[in-house]
Amino acid sequence: MTTILSLFSKKINLEITVIEAKPYSNPYLVGFGLGLVLLAAFVIMGRGLGASGAMSSVVAVTVEKAAPDYASENSFFETYLGDGTSSPLKDWLVFEVLGVLVGGFISGLLAGRIKRTVEKGPRISTALRLVFAFAGGSLMGFGAMLARGCTSGQALTGGALLNLGSWIFMLMVFAGAYATAYFVRRQWI
């Protein structure tokens, strides 16, 4: 295959460049930068970072469009929908999450890390890996609703405000991760 490709590229003067992925950033520097972003959010917006509020706003608007009577009678959706004078999708957390998605894509593109692949170990199929990823994401979303905030809201914002519940939350996240790692380690080895 390589020989055919090189012969073909020589015949039509086509140059093939392989972009090598750049090394990851220094985690201490990135952590410091994240702290500055959190500080800027407090100073500029008057509140910290978080992602689950944005997801809840999107779900509330979707439910309101599909079943307006149910959404108006449900106290959970009503808190996100407000009085109806402005769209919950104009909430700054929605724009924050969109910015994280776009910024992450641009960062991956500049670092040469955009590729279509599924990260998995040799002992697990791609389909099972995706099932586990979906199940884990669903559990995290459910846990974020129970904890009244996601890891970014609880750990970053709550931790910065020295909320005892947020510190307990993060300790339990790490404890749960270490306890679960033993049972799923064979998928990665």
What is the arithmetic mean of pLDDT over 166-189? 85
What is the arithmetic mean of pLDDT over 8-35? 76
Q: How far apart are CA 54 and CA 41, in angstroms?
A: 15
Q: Are residues 87 and 172 in the same domain?
A: no
What is the arithmetic mean of pLDDT over 12-37? 81
Query: Which pair of tokens denotes residue 102?
Result: 């776009």
**Total-model pTM:** 0.70
Q: Which of 116, 143, 178 is the last residue of a domain?
A: 116
Q: Are residues 66 and 134 in the same domain?
A: no
Q: How far apart are CA 16 and CA 7, in angstroms?
A: 12
Residue 53 in contact with residue 93, Cβ under 8 Å?
A: yes
Q: How far apart are CA 107 and CA 113, in angstroms?
A: 9
Q: Are residues 136 and 183 in the same domain?
A: yes
Contacts of residue 160, defined as CB under 8 A and 6 or more positions apart, other chains included, come to 38, 42, 48
Question: Angle, nearest 10°, between helix axes 52-66 and 92-111?
Answer: 120
Residue range of the domain that includes 132:
119-189
Assess whether pLDDT exceeds 80 at residue 70. Answer: yes
110-159 pLDDT, tens digit per residue, is: 888 888 888 888 888 899 989 989 998 898 888 888 877 788 888 888 88
Q: What is the pLDDT of residue 113?
A: 86
Assess whether pLDDT exceeds 90 at residue 39. Answer: yes
Q: What is the pLDDT of residue 175?
A: 93
